[in-house]
């Protein structure tokens, strides 16, 4: 089944992603588009463009074009320079993750064949220990007053020396590189991240991104920069870096980025900066909902009050699952603001049109971005209209000559003829039985109908027997009274539709930052109980 986006398209920009972003925003060089909430350091469009392009020129001069450029830091907004520079040279931006041990860090650097790592003084010693003996260029982002400065490689000497970056920043005559061929960076994955707890890298493509930069139905103008956005999403992860890089420059907004994304820091930032828009993770949002009450025009948490009256829209990432509608209702009542789910990349949702649905379409995650075609398949074959399968997407950015490439989103669901995307589950979480393929959410909805059940999560239990591998649905159940006997009859009733299903009773369901059950953790729990 093939479905094209119903949203109005416009001509795709020629050139790589940062070149298009820069050209869209270079008429407003003095606009402050990024603010560090902790230090109040500001970043203007002109500063980002100039520094990123000169940094790209230096990386190109050092022979790093087309390579993986890494960052080992999770707080410095200067990483935005490295992000754009990596894309400008046709390379890949990699966030190494600061919560890993020395052996994991070393393995990630070796596996990605990255020739250069940018860091800050806070992490120099940790990086030095992990990369001892490696032929690696290390650049410090906060050395003195310079935007970037290098440390000699190998890093064990850590002797300071003048760098090409330093020279370029001081040489206004140096012409920075600019990619203008659409066959280069635009077709390649632009971001390489690592999933927590997984040894495999996650490659994310900017599919459909920047196909239009209309925000709220209006093209960004030079006057719209007065709109302030507080971002309580860690910019060091896959979603945050794109959010702070593209969204403010295209929409004319000012993004205040939090280094700490806890509820108190979030509410304090809203009070101080008076934003119209909040970007927030599921964990932070639900923590606020659990602790805050409405007190006139303010929110009260204990003895503290916070002024959140400026908020109009709250964006959270992948708000799915059984509790989604309840959370949406609670957030709307508490903040008196519209809560919108963003599916996929933050910048894809904000810039390319996923947030255009209003009022909300029940059960959906949004509308296909403009210039996107979706394919729904099962076992490699297209399914019929209305049927569910794996969702693949394609855009002109991913075309390779006469062959159209499709990006596998990893989602199981369907796309209606009107372009509405309905996601039932991640493909990896599906429960495949001889009777058919089942999404965990369908089983969970049935289980939650029982009056004694307050929370649950379903996974597939694949057990080895003499006859081979047997798959059974396993449901982790939390009861209101804490007693398994109050819900034992539930399992018997579900046997008809889900043969072999059984329950494990627990005190809580671990959840990931999106709010969905952490099924990897549940599988580990199940393996430990076996």
pLDDT tens-digit readout, 233-271: 877 665 567 667 777 777 778 899 998 888 999 999 999
Identify the residue whose tokens are 């029982």: 450
Q: What is the pLDDT of residues 350-372, one digit of tens each?
A: 444 444 444 556 677 777 766 67
CB 83 within 8 A of CB 107: no
Q: Go through the chain and tell me how many residues it has.
A: 530
Which tens digits make up the pLDDT trace of 75-117?
A: 888 889 998 888 888 788 888 878 888 888 898 888 888 999 9
Report d(CA 365, CA 367) in Å as an integer: 7
Domains 41-204 and 218-356 share a fold: yes
For the 218-356 domain, the top CATH level (class) is alpha beta
Q: Taking CA 247 as the corner, what is the angle to CA 244 and CA 249, rounded to the nearest 5 degrees?
A: 95
Torsion of the alpha carbons at 340, 346, 351 and 355, rounded to the nearest 10: -20
Comparing C-alpha atoms, which of 87, 136, 81 is closest to residue 110?
A: 136
For residue range 413-432, list pLDDT tens digits in order.
Answer: 999 988 888 888 888 889 98
Say whether pLDDT at 11 is over 60. no
Taking the domains of the chain in order of start, what are their residue ranges? 41-204, 218-356, 372-427, 430-529
Q: Which CATH architecture has domain 430-529?
A: 2-Layer Sandwich (3.30)
434-467: buried (b, 16+ CB within 10 Å) or exposed (e) per residue?
A: eeeebbbbebbebbeebebbebbbbbbbeeeeee
Nearby residues of 522 by Cβ (< 8 Å), 6 or more positions away: 457, 459, 476, 509, 510
List C-alpha distances in Å: 33 to 43, 187, 254, 255. Answer: 6, 27, 4, 6
Query: In the CATH scheme, what architecture does the domain 372-427 have?
Result: Roll (2.30)
Who has greater pLDDT, 128 or 18? 128
pLDDT in tens, 161-197: 334 344 444 444 444 444 444 444 344 555 666 654 4
Q: Strands 254-257, 228-232: parallel, antiparallel or unpaired by DSSP?
A: parallel
41-204 to CATH, choices 3.30.70.330, 1.10.274.100, 3.40.50.980, 3.30.470.10: 3.40.50.980
Q: Which helix (H) or strand (E) holds 293?
A: strand 293-295
Statement: residue 158 has pLDDT above 60: no
């Amino acid at each position: 089944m093939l479905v094209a986006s119903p949203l109005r398209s416009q001509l795709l920009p020629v050139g790589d992603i940062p070149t298009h972003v820069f050209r869209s925003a270079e008429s407003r060089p003095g606009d402050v588009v990024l603010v560090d909430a902790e230090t109040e350091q500001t970043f203007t469009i002109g500063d980002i463009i100039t520094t990123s392009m000169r940094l790209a020129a230096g990386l190109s001069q050092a022979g790093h074009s087309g390579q993986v450029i890494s960052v080992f830091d999770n707080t410095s907004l200067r990483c935005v320079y490295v992000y754009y520079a990596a894309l400008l040279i046709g390379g890949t931006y990699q966030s190494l993750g600061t919560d890993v041990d020395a052996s994991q860090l070393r393995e990630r650097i070796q596996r990605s064949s990255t020739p250069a790592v940018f860091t800050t003084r806070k992490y120099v010693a940790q990086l030095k220990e992990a990369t001892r003996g490696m032929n690696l260029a290390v650049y410090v982002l906060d050395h003195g007053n310079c935007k970037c400065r290098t440390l000699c490689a190998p890093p064990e000497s850590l002797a300071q020396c003048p760098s090409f970056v330093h020279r370029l920043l001081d040489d206004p005559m140096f012409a920075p590189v600019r990619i203008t061929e659409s066959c280069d960076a635009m077709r390649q994955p632009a971001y390489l991240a690592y999933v927590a707890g997984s040894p495999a890298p996650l490659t994310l493509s900017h599919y459909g991104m920047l196909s239009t930069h209309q925000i709220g139905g209006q093209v960004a103008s030079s006057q719209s920069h007065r709109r302030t956005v507080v971002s309580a999403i860690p910019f060091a992860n896959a979603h945050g870096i794109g959010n702070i890089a593209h969204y403010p420059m295209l929409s004319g907004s000012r993004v205040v980025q939090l280094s700490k994304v806890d509820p108190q820091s979030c509410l304090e930032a809203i009070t101080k900066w008076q934003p119209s828009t909040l970007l927030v993770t599921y964990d932070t949002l639900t923590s606020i909902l659990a602790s805050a009450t409405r007190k006139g025009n303010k929110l009260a948490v204990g003895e503290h009050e916070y002024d959140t009256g400026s908020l109009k829209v709250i964006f959270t990432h992948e708000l799915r699952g059984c509790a989604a509608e309840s959370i949406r209702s609670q957030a709307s009542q508490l903040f008196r603001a519209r809560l919108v789910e963003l599916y996929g990349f933050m910048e894809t949702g904000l810039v390319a049109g996923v947030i255009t649905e209003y009022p909300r379409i029940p059960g959906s995650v949004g509308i296909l971005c403009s210039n996107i075609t979706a394919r729904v398949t099962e076992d490699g074959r297209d399914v019929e209209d209305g049927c569910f399968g794996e969702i693949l997407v394609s855009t002109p950015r991913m075309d390779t000559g006469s062959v159209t490439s499709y990006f596998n989103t990893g989602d199981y669901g369907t796309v209606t003829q009107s372009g509405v995307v309905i996601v039932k589950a991640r493909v990896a979480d599906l429960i495949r039985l001889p009777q058919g393929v089942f999404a965990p959410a369908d089983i969970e909805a049935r289980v939650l109908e029982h009056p004694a059940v307050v929370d649950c999560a379903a996974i597939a239990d694949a057990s080895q027997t003499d006859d081979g591998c047997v798959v059974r649905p396993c449901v982790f159940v939390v009861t209101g009274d804490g007693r398994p006997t109050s819900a034992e009859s539930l399992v018997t009733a579900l046997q008809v539709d889900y043969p072999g299903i059984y329950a494990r009773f627990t005190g809580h369901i671990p959840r990931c930052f999106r709010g969905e059950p952490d099924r990897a953790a549940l599988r580990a729990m199940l393996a430990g109980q076996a």
